Amino acid sequence: MNVIELERRALDAATKIISRARPEDLTLPTPCAQWDLRALLVHLVSENLGFADAARGGTAAGSWSIGTLDPDPVTAFAASAAEVAEAFAADGLLARLVTVPAFGVFPGEVAVKMHLIDTVAHGWDVSRTLGEDWAPEEDLVEAALTVALRFPMPRGPGQAFGALVDVPQDAPAAERLLGYLGRDPEWKAA
């Protein structure tokens, strides 16, 4: 598994999905119950910038909350995606230790995998918010699922992930990933 290539492709896919959001969509509710689309996109931009900073040796938690949607959501996300992709592609990153505030210190490869899971999952969140079908490349979903199953997921109120959603074991990988991450694969925009 070339995690850097998978991550770049996940970022490209998320950029395509986000590019379909219109200004009037920013107030729509998302599968992330506490966030409307604007808040979700700010989270994504902030996370991209935070992981980029961490990959470059930063340890400050403040870099994880500096994202904005200026000058517009699509441009802001694309710029932050390019920044994190560049930081993740740095020589030696996969073996170097990276501090991910609120989670710990990990080899760079683990940090990239953490971001991969989130990028793929939030791609679904944005697609569903916009009322679209989600059609990621199967190997991206398989990789995100494989990685997610290896991570302990803090679950419940105030945690990064909700309670497990029961999904049949023979369901497609995308549905199993969503259920494992605490998302109802049947969620639809109101």
Each residue's pLDDT tens digit, 152-180: 777 877 777 888 999 999 999 999 999 99
Start-to-end Cα distance in the chain: 37
Instruction: Work out the angle at residue 15's Cα, subtended by the Cα atoms of residues 97 and 26, and round it to the nearest 5 degrees.
Output: 110
Does a structural domain hold residue 54? yes
Domain count, the chain: 1
Q: Cis before residue 172, ω within 30 degrees of 0?
A: no
Instruction: Give per-residue pLDDT as tens, 39-70.
Output: 999 999 999 999 999 999 987 777 788 899 99
Does a structural domain hold residue 190? no
Helix (H) or strand (E) holding 76: helix 73-88
Does a structural domain hold residue 185? no
Does a structural domain hold residue 101? yes
Cα–Cα distance, 167 to 23 (Å, whole number): 34
Q: What's the pTM?
A: 0.93
CATH code for the domain of 102? 1.20.120.450
Does a structural domain hold residue 77? yes
Does a structural domain hold residue 104? yes
Q: Rounded mean pLDDT of 92-121?
A: 94
Does a structural domain hold residue 16? yes
Contacts of 26 (CB under 8 A, 6+ apart): 36, 37, 38, 41, 73
Its domain, for residue 91, covers 3-180
Does a structural domain hold residue 186? no
Cα–Cα distance, 168 to 185 (Å, whole number): 11
